[in-house]
Amino acid sequence: MKRLSEIFDRFGGVNLLPVLAAVVAFVLIDAPSSWVTLTVAGLAMGMMIFLMASGLSLVFGLMDVLNFGHSAFISFGAFVAASVLAFFGAWLGGDSSFLALIALILSIAAAIAFGLLGGWFFETVIIKPVYKDHLRQILITMGALIVAEQIILAVWGGTPTSVPRPAFLEGSWIIGDVSIEVYRVFAFLLGLIVYVGLYIVLNRTRVGLLIRAGVENREMVECLGFRVDRIFVGVFMVGSALAAMGGAMWAGYQTLISPALGAEMLIIVFIVVIIGGLGSIEGTLLGAILVGLIGNYVGYLAPKLALTSNMVLMMLILLWRPNGLRPIVK
């Protein structure tokens, strides 16, 4: 068993899990074109979930804050982006791809800006008074999530809102008998760019070094002369902006969104950060990709089990690694 574990680690360890899942699915699905479609869909979904979950993971890792209100930013991001896209509807449907691209960028930028401002307000007004008190954190952030849902209901109404997409992101590329949706490739690439950006900030800058150190041992970072609470405000804002960005991407992916979106995504987002290891960005990416891939594969192979696949995956991983796949060193 030890030898098997050593071999597993030598070839990439837990990073291999998505590859293993894809290989097993390839054998079970027995239809390469369907497998490619499901894999691309799973990767795109994984990247969007990563965007939504990464902030939550950092916020918990850095300050031990359990923020159930995190998914409110996913909802707001989705609705703000949908409104901006609807406002520029003529650009999206017109002949100019450039104008459609501008509309898309503006919609994502609006979601990010909302996330940054909302994150600052949320941290200052709701989170700060309940530092170091998990019970009150859960109660107050759950309450904030309910309030956020009601605000969305009041502003956007209770009926599902349709989300227009730019024309250049509609349709699929057909390669042989494989069909790849353009939007899924776009979502995957954007998620990848954000991950690379986060990786560079966390591993190549002083702020990133402080965040990584703070996630491990906040007290010691303060003993070195840094105010972690001030760093935390920035991390919270960026985390909320990423969630809003993920929500905006998800809105475009689903094309129909309802005020319950945040509450629906909350469970998946928490599963991802628990699977990955709280506080670990690499772990969050790994968990998100796994959840995305396995959700799609199981949905195809055994549709009745699709809803439970994430829970089963989390249980199996926690039985194997109680601290998640890529836990941070505490």
Partner 1 sequence: MNLLSIESMKTNIGQYAVLHDISLVVPEGGVFVLLGRNGAGKTTTLRSIMGLWKPSRGSIRFRNQDISSMHTADIARLGIAFVPENMGIFGGLTVEENLILATAKGSFDNNHLKRVTVLFPALEQFWTKQAWSLSGGQKQMLAIARAIIEPRDLILIDEPTKGLAPSIIDAMTGAFDEIAETTTILLVEQNFQFAKSLGREMAVIDDGRIVHAGSMADFVADRDLQNRLLSLSA
Q: What is the β-pairing status of strands 172-175 and 178-181?
A: antiparallel
CB of 49 to partner 1, least distance (A): 24
Quote the Cα angle for 329-217-278, to 5°. Answer: 50
Nearer Cβ to partner 1 (225/303)? 225
Residue 135 as a binder of partner 1 (CB under 8 A): the answer is no
Specify the 3-state DSSP secondary structure of 161: strand
Integer CA distances (angstroms), 300 to 28, 219, 306, in order: 10, 47, 8
Distance of CA 55 to the CA centre of its chain: 8
Helices (H), 97-181: 97-122, 134-156
Nearer Cβ to partner 1 (30/219)? 219
What b/e string do you get for 74-102 counting C-beta neighbours within 10 Å, with b at 16 or more? bbbbbbbbbbbbeebeebbeeeeeeebee
Residue 30 as a binder of partner 1 (CB under 8 A): the answer is no
28, 113, 220, 307: which one contacts partner 1 (CB under 8 A)? Answer: 220
320 exposed, middle or buried (CB, 10 Å; 0-12, 13-18, 19+)?
A: exposed
206, 303, 320, 322: which one contacts partner 1 (CB under 8 A)? Answer: 206
Binding span for partner 1 by CB under 8 A among 10-18, 92-100, 202-210, 242-250: 202-210
CB of 241 to partner 1, least distance (A): 25
CB of 286 to partner 1, least distance (A): 16
**Site size for partner 1, by CB under 8 A?**
20
Q: How many residues does the chain have?
A: 330
132, 223, 304, 319: which one contacts partner 1 (CB under 8 A)? Answer: 223
Binding span for partner 1 by CB under 8 A among 8-16, 35-43, 145-153, 223-231: 223-231
Binding span for partner 1 by CB under 8 A among 26-34, 79-87, 152-160, 218-226: 218-226
In the numeric block, which tokens belong to residue 261?
Answer: 């979106």
Residue 64 as a binder of partner 1 (CB under 8 A): the answer is no
- By CB under 8 A, what part of segment 226-255 binds partner 1? 226-228
What's the CA gap between 284 and 254, in Å, rounded?
A: 22
Residues forming the site for partner 1 (CB under 8 A): 206, 209-210, 212-213, 216-217, 219-228, 328-330
